[in-house]
Amino acid sequence: MSGETTRAGGIRFERKVVNNLRTDGYITMRSAGSKGAIDIMAMKPGQLLLVGAKRGGVCTAAEWDRLVELAGWVGAIPVLAVNGPRGYGVDYWRLCGPKRRGKPMGAQPAVRFLTDEVGGPVRQEWVEIP
């Protein structure tokens, strides 16, 4: 697969994650072309997610550890977003510590994460201030 095709697929997947998070009531910011550990920041009252979006589900130990470290700095939840089964939907994993090198995903310090675990959909209302 060419670099351009891979890049375009990664961008499409990041947009898929952003749309999925917005549907769940998050306000999102995508870090386009950053090449950093954080691809997406998502916020709702009482919750900040730092998300690494990996279309193929492969996250290097350096990316994983950096995401955990940065989330710790700001009290955020480090999350890995991967394609759901057969490419449908998005699966989220909460990263709970440094990656164990050479181990499969099932042996990693990560647990399934449901985006509606904390808070609810953001309610947007107009409030008139006297």
Q: What pLDDT digit, counting tens, does each position of 16-39 carry?
A: 999 999 999 999 999 876 678 899
Residue 62 has phi, psi (to 5 degrees) of -65, -45
Q: Which domain holds residue 90?
A: 3-112
**Looking at residue 88, what is its pLDDT?**
86
Q: Is residue 39 left, alpha or beta, with left meaning phi > 0 and alpha meaning psi from -120 to 50?
A: alpha
| Residue 128 is assigned to a structural domain of this protein | no
Residue 94 scores a pLDDT above 70 = yes
- What's 43's domain CATH number? 3.40.1350.10
**Looking at residue 2, what is its pLDDT?**
54
**Looking at residue 101, what is its pLDDT?**
86
DSSP structural state of residue 105: G
Q: Is residue 35 left, alpha or beta, with left meaning phi > 0 and alpha meaning psi from -120 to 50?
A: left
Number of domains composing the chain: 1
| Residue 53 is assigned to a structural domain of this protein | yes
| Residue 88 is assigned to a structural domain of this protein | yes
| Residue 117 is assigned to a structural domain of this protein | no
**Looking at residue 32, what is its pLDDT?**
75
| Residue 130 is assigned to a structural domain of this protein | no
Tokens of 119: 């808070």
Give the residue ranges of DSSP H helices in 1-130. 3-23, 61-74
User: Residues 41-93: pLDDT tens digits?
Assistant: 999 998 999 999 998 888 889 999 999 999 999 999 999 999 988 878 899 99
Give the residue ranges of DSSP H helices in 24-129. 61-74
